[in-house]
Amino acid sequence: MKAEFKDFIGSFHDFYPEGYCPHLIDEFERLVQSGAGSNRQQSEGVVKHGKNDLQLGLNFGVHNVVPFSNRSSTDLFFAGLQKCYDLYTEQYSVLKENKIYCTAMKMQRTDPGGGYHIWHGEQGNGTSSARVLAYMLYLNTLSLDEAGETEFLYQQCRVRPKENLMLIWPAAFTHTHRGNTVFGQRSKYIVTGWFYYE
């Protein structure tokens, strides 16, 4: 396990047990085969050249146990996320002065040619105004040729998808970002969500 911090982006390597990320991919595909999930055109009415991926809100706690851990997928996920969050708030300790919570666990599959092409922050109007941090766990590795990076505009950096790499960053406009197009034959899988002020 390794943690790195740059420009308020925390990178957390290998905080989940080996086999967990492929397990989540398998579970995602199983649920999609049963009819769960929706694409952005169905759920948001957006055009494909703006946002193009398949998303699924996860609640594995009731019906799914990770075979090698005897814990639910949700419990295991949030335990790892908590470790990353604790390290992040040690680095940026002012966050400890507020009550912050996280309950969302959303999984996305971005197929070749797809992406989240619009520059955006995670904080906005309505319920998203309470977002303080965003997180993302890459579930599989893509090569340089396959692209699919998360690109941060003002930090002038791109993060390549790497299995078992968690990112945490501020939800505000300062960390405007997008998901670049996936090339090649393989899809990109992530779990993502937000931390909120109470």
Beta bridge partners of 165: 13, 138
- Which of 135, 144, 143, 138 has the alpha carbon at shortest distance from 177? 135
DSSP summary character for residue 56: E
Beta bridge partners of 157: 152
- Which of 140, 169, 164 has the alpha carbon at shortest distance from 152? 169
Strand 157-159, strand 9-13: pairing: unpaired
First to last CA, the chain: 30
- What is the pLDDT tens value at each position of the chain, 198 positions in all? 999 999 999 999 999 999 999 999 998 898 888 887 777 776 667 677 777 788 887 654 444 667 777 788 888 999 999 999 999 999 999 999 999 999 878 999 999 999 999 999 999 999 899 999 999 999 999 999 999 999 999 999 999 999 999 999 999 999 999 999 999 999 999 999 999 999
**In contact, 182 and 117? CB cutoff 8 Å:** no
Amino acid at 75: D
Tokens 């996280």, residue? 102
What's the pLDDT score for residue 59?
59
Q: In this structure, is the dihedral angle defined by the CA atoms of residues 63, 115, 152 and 141, taken in order, positive or negative?
A: positive
DSSP E strand stretches across 121-180: 131-138, 150-152, 157-159, 165-170, 177-179
What's the pLDDT score for residue 44?
67
What's the pLDDT score for residue 70?
78
**CA separation for the pair 176, 78 (Å, rounded):** 25
What's the pLDDT score for residue 64?
65
**In contact, 27 and 111? CB cutoff 8 Å:** no
